[in-house]
Amino acid sequence: MARDGTAIAAAALGVAVYVDAGQHEIVASAPGFARFTKVVTLVAGKTETLAIPSLTAAAASSDGSKLPVDAAEASAGPVAAVSSTRAYIAIGVGAVGVATVGVGFLFGANARSDR
């Protein structure tokens, strides 16, 4: 996936992303599949959703081999690394959840033994 020639990280798919108003080219490609290209015009202050259809298999040449993949499909270019901030937040929230359950069990066991 690419927007205006820049690769989009897989983690950014299906997530709302701010994009400047104006015209943008969205390209979805995969080796052995036909490329999907769509030009969208975004308006400031308006939310848009773009659905990418399933890619169709690329046509084969007369000798039965797949047609060559163009340079853009062969190398989607560098993908920016996804920030690990979300992972740290998830680990922290999980740890707090486990600690809370542990404290709950302790209070429960204490209350049960006081009977």
User: Count H helices, E strands: the chain?
Assistant: 2, 4
The answer to whether the CB of 13 falls within 8 A of the CB of 1 is: yes
Percent of the chain with pLDDT over 70: 78
Instruction: Tell me the per-residue pLDDT of 66-111, one tens digit each, with 9 for 90 and over.
Output: 555 554 444 445 555 556 777 788 899 999 999 999 999 999 998 8
Q: How confident is the model at residue 30 (pLDDT cuts 50, 70, 90)?
A: confident
Rounded Cα gap, residues 110 and 65, in angstroms: 71
User: What is residue 11's predicted lDDT score, i.e. its pLDDT?
Assistant: 78
User: What is residue 98's predicted lDDT score, i.e. its pLDDT?
Assistant: 95
